[in-house]
Structure 1
């Protein structure tokens, strides 16, 4: 009998699902490929992804233009092995047996690309550490 490897599911959650969580999802998809299932959602999703987030990710060669903010659902949290919250406080449902991490990051909403770059770089470092912890 062959052993099947579990492909972990990571859910990134922020309030608007327009900046931090979208950048984190973009990095995880870029670095981990199909080794990880990547989800992102927001407790109060915006109408579109933050244009500054799209621009600074493009500088890294990562295209998140097709991403759209999605509403956080209980089923997304139930499906995830790891739930990374970014400033959504207590609005994220808690299910026992999940790994939860809260990443304290500045909100890129309303900021220009120059102000969003340091946030992006912090997210990249955290995503790389996350990948190491999953393997």
Structure 2
């Protein structure tokens, strides 16, 4: 009798440990999938707002990106004319930015189109058309960043 009782206790212990381990594993996997979904949802919300998304879909900041309902371009001004500037983007290529009398041009203080000069670094935010042109709502003149000496 004693060996049958030991066998039952051993089997019961194995079953309890197996069920507990399986439950723990299942719970862990469920929580991971839940967190991944939450992260994916938060990322999708962030990306949907267009804030700081790059054209390849990654989150970050480079020469071009999107903002809610528009396009963001940053780079160095290559040329300036009466109603547009051409910018060499930091990530690659160039972009022509169109502006009008309603475009806000910012620096430490509010600027004007005469403040836009070749060689300046700018951040332009505006609407992009189907052919890739950007009409600026705001152009920010960025201070020159000097690399630290090694």
Give the helix-richer structure, 1 or 2: 1
TM over 0.5: no
With structure 2 as the length reference, what TM-score do the two structures score?
0.22
Give the strand-richer structure, 1 or 2: 2
- Considering Cα pairs closer than 8 Å and 6+ residues apart, tell me whether 1 or 2 has the greater RCO: 1
Largest Rg, 1 or 2: 2
With structure 1 as the length reference, what TM-score do the two structures score?
0.24
